Amino acid sequence: MMYRVLIVDDEPVVREGLAHLINWQALGFEIVGDAENGLDGIEKINQLHPNIVVTDIRMPIMDGIEMIRKIQETNSEMEVLILSGYSDFSYAKEAIHLGVSSYLLKPVDEEELENELKKIASRMDLKREQRKAIALYQDYSVSKKLKEFVLHQQHKEELELLFSFDSYQFIACNFEISPLNRAEVRERVDKIIQKEVFYFNHNSCLYSLLVNRTTREAEKIVLEISETFKGEQVLVLVSKEGNQFLDIQQLYKEIRQLEKKRYLYEELNVLSRSSIEMYIENN
Which structural domains are found in the chain, ordered by start? Answer: 3-114 (3.40.50.2300), 163-282 (3.30.70.270)
pLDDT score at 140: 82
Strand partners, 159: none
**Which residues of the chain are under the pLDDT cut of 70?**
86-92, 95, 133-138
Q: Is the dihedral of CA 53, 59, 63, 65 positive or negative?
A: positive
pLDDT score at 8: 95
Burial environment of residue 161 by CB neighbours within 10 A (0 to 12, 13 to 18, 19 or more): exposed
Q: How far apart are CA 225 and CA 189, in angstroms?
A: 6
The DSSP-derived string for the chain is: -PEEEEEE-S-HHHHHHHHHHS-TGGGTEEEEEEESSHHHHHHHHHHH--SEEEEES--SSS-HHHHHHHHHHH-TT-EEEEEE-GGGHHHHHHHHHTT--EEEESSPPHHHHHHHHHHHHHHHHHHHHHHHHHHHHHHHHHHHHHHHHHHH--SHHHHHHH---S-EEEEEEE-TT-SS-HHHHHHHHHHHH-SSEEEEEETTEEEEEEES--HHHHHHHHHHHHHHTTTTT-EEEE---B-STTHHHHHHHHHHHHHHTTTT-TT-SEE-HHHHHHHHHH-
Under a CB-based contact definition with an 8 Å cutoff, are residues 163 and 245 in contact? yes
pLDDT score at 86: 62
* Strands 52-56 vs 79-84: parallel, antiparallel or unpaired: parallel
Under a CB-based contact definition with an 8 Å cutoff, are residues 102 and 81 in contact? yes
